[in-house]
Structure 1
Amino acid sequence: MEDEILTRLAQAKAQMDATRAAVARAEQELRRTSVTVVSRDRAVEVTVGPQGEISGLQFLDGKYRTMGAPHLAASILEAAGEGRAQMARRVMDAFQPLEEPLPSLPEDLALVPGLEFDWKDVFGSMLDIGNTGAQDRSATAKLRDEIVEDGENG
């Protein structure tokens, strides 16, 4: 009986060590990851880093010269939002395997049944970008920018 318990504990420790190593690999891989997105009007290119930060912004083909401020702002926000959503999905994909229960542990010793992430809590509405409601938010952002601009001029 004691040998069986020691064997199970050794299995649990091995699984925990494997989980720690998998988390470290995923974190290291994500630190080197970025996503680059071009706005729908092809005026702006935004690069987003692993924590959702904007690490690059380029104005393409001089289109910004003929755009009004609200339109340019909307293009930047659209590309940044899509980039952040794509990065959030990459993070979720990287950590997805760690949510699974540890298969080699007996149920009575499943000390860590799998990590549980509340992705909506971690990323909030960022996960909704790219879904059907994203266009509504983009239109709202454009309207908000125009209202602010009108307020400054009037």
Structure 2
Amino acid sequence: MAELEATQEAVARAEAELREASCTVRSRDRAVEVTVGHQGELTALRFLDGKYRTMTAGELAGSVLEAAERARTQMARQVMETFEPFTRPSDAVPEMTGVDVDWRAIFGPSVLEDGAERPGQRRSERLRDEIHEDAEDEHDV
């Protein structure tokens, strides 16, 4: 019973700690900076050094989305690291097997990737291409 109570208290502390957590990330092109809260919600957006003035709408949108996605992924990983000890079985009480958490279902499959670029085109570049193509399509109509 003491082990269960200690685990419940630890979970409550972890939840309280995460409620105050945030993650700030700059886009790879260093044009924007985003901050997300503990649930991945966008809480701040800054345009850095006036770079946005020389960017197309598609480039700027791509930078914002790329930074937001990276920040959300980092925050999700922080949540996973915080709760990871509760997924392991208890050494003291064999009946406490730990919580089985499907992180992919909660955060999506990208959170479990190592962050390395996949072969071929990066996601943000594909997004910029799609936005650019959409803008061209509108002018052709």
Across the aligned residues of Structure 1 and Structure 2, the Cα RMSD in angstroms comes to: 1.6
Query: Which runs of no fewer than 5 residues in structure 2 stay unpaired?
Result: none
Tell me the CA shift for residue 55 of structure 1: 0.4
Question: 1:132 aligned to 2:120?
Answer: no
2: CA distance, partners of 1:148 / 1:40:
23
Query: Which runs of no fewer than 5 residues in structure 1 stay unpaired?
Result: 1-12
User: Number of residues paired by the alignment?
Assistant: 138
Tell me the CA shift for residue 125 of structure 1: 3.1
Residues 110-146 of structure 1 deviation map (CA, whole Å, 9 limit, x = unaligned)? 0x31111111111103413723239622222111111
Percentage identity across aligned positions?
Answer: 49
TM alignment of 1:1-154, pairs within 5 A: 13-105=1-93, 107=94, 110=95, 112-127=96-111, 128=113, 130-133=115-118, 136-154=122-140
Q: Is the 8 A contact 1:81 1:129 kept in 2?
A: no
Look up the SS of the partner of 2:135 in the other structure.
helix
Tell me the CA shift for residue 152 of structure 1: 2.4
Q: Is the 8 A contact 1:102 1:114 kept in 2?
A: yes
Residues 11-42 of structure 1 deviation map (CA, whole Å, 9 limit, x = unaligned)? xx111111111111111000101000011111
Structure of higher RCO (CA pairs closer than 8 Å, 6+ residues apart): 1
Q: Is the 8 A contact 1:38 1:79 kept in 2?
A: yes
